Amino acid sequence: MKSVLRSRKLVRLLQRHPALILSLVVIVGLLVLTFLGEVLAPYDPLGVDLPNKLQPPSLNHLMGTDDMGRDVLSRIMAGTRLSTATIAVIMSSSLLVGILVGTLAGYLGGKFDEGLMRLTEVFLAFPGLILALAIAAALGPSLINAMLAISIVWWPWYARMVRGQVLAVKQNQYVESARAIGASSFRIVSRHILPNCLMPVIIQASMDMGSALVTTAGLSFIGLGAQAPTPEWGAMVGLGRRYLLSAWWISTFPGLAIFVTILGLNLLGDTLQDILWSRHE
């Protein structure tokens, strides 16, 4: 009986939010390729085959080959793991630091709050992409450094958001009641404040996942992210720009992979926002 009710709720949810179907298809495809991409790839994504370089799409190579004869489809499938790992690392590190700083600033207040907020404003004073470029260039070109640079740029936004939520929630009567009966600060924050502050953060994070991917791909595109022969989508697009007129498929198909992934993630974020806010109201 419970399974039938859950199925009906799921059907109604999909009917109210048809974009959720497309986003789920993209997410499921990403997860499958993340764990099985290299296994399912028809060719070795790093295998060099110079006699077959710059081959157009065909039955043997559905998305053609690059300047070293490597199969573009296989490299895209193998690169899915890097893309999902990039999103996971950037979002988790940014959220962890942002939530920690924002919670401490909002709950403790006073000079502690002022000091932490001045620190966040130092990062927010610069355009995010420009600051990420500067940090990545200073650290050196690599995918790890690119992810670190983006995480450093992004955590202040979450810190400010969480601080504002904490300042509002800690004034509620149930928080004062918990403090009056002798609850520790850790218990008050973990049980009464944070659970009531995270909904806007979750919504924002779900909408930022696509931005994390495209920013990392942009750094790889200009040579500050993943380096050859790593099958990373942004680096593949950057490689193909030299052959855009003669071998369009080298850049086009990785670019389409980025586009479809961002579309699916953005649709998921928009749908999640509608669902959570409707329940909240």
* Fold classification of 26-39+66-280 (topology level): MetI-like fold (1.10.3720)
- Reported as a single tens digit per residue, the pLDDT across 176-231 is 787 888 778 788 888 888 888 888 888 888 888 988 999 999 999 988 988 888 89
- CA gap 236, 248 in Å, rounded: 12
d(CA 133, CA 152): 11
What does the pLDDT look like over 11-39, one tens digit per residue?
666 667 677 788 888 889 988 998 988 88
Q: What's the CA gap between 228 and 234, in Å, rounded? A: 11
Question: pLDDT tens-digit profile of 69-115?
Answer: 999 999 999 999 998 999 999 999 999 999 999 999 988 888 888 89
Q: Report how far residue 281's alpha carbon sits from residue 278's, in angstroms, rounded to the nearest whole number.
A: 5
pLDDT at 19: 75
Per-residue pLDDT, 3? 60
Global pTM reads 0.87
β-sheet bridge partners, residue 71: 65
Q: Angle, nearest 10°, between helix axes 233-240 and 249-280?
A: 140
pLDDT tens digits along 128-160:
888 999 999 999 999 999 999 999 999 999 999
- Supply the pLDDT for residue 256: 94
Domain ranges of the chain: 26-39+66-280
Using one digit for the tens of pLDDT, what is the confidence trace for 61-80?
999 999 899 999 999 999 99
pLDDT (tens digit, 9 = 90+) per residue, 236-271?
999 888 888 889 999 999 999 999 999 988 888 888
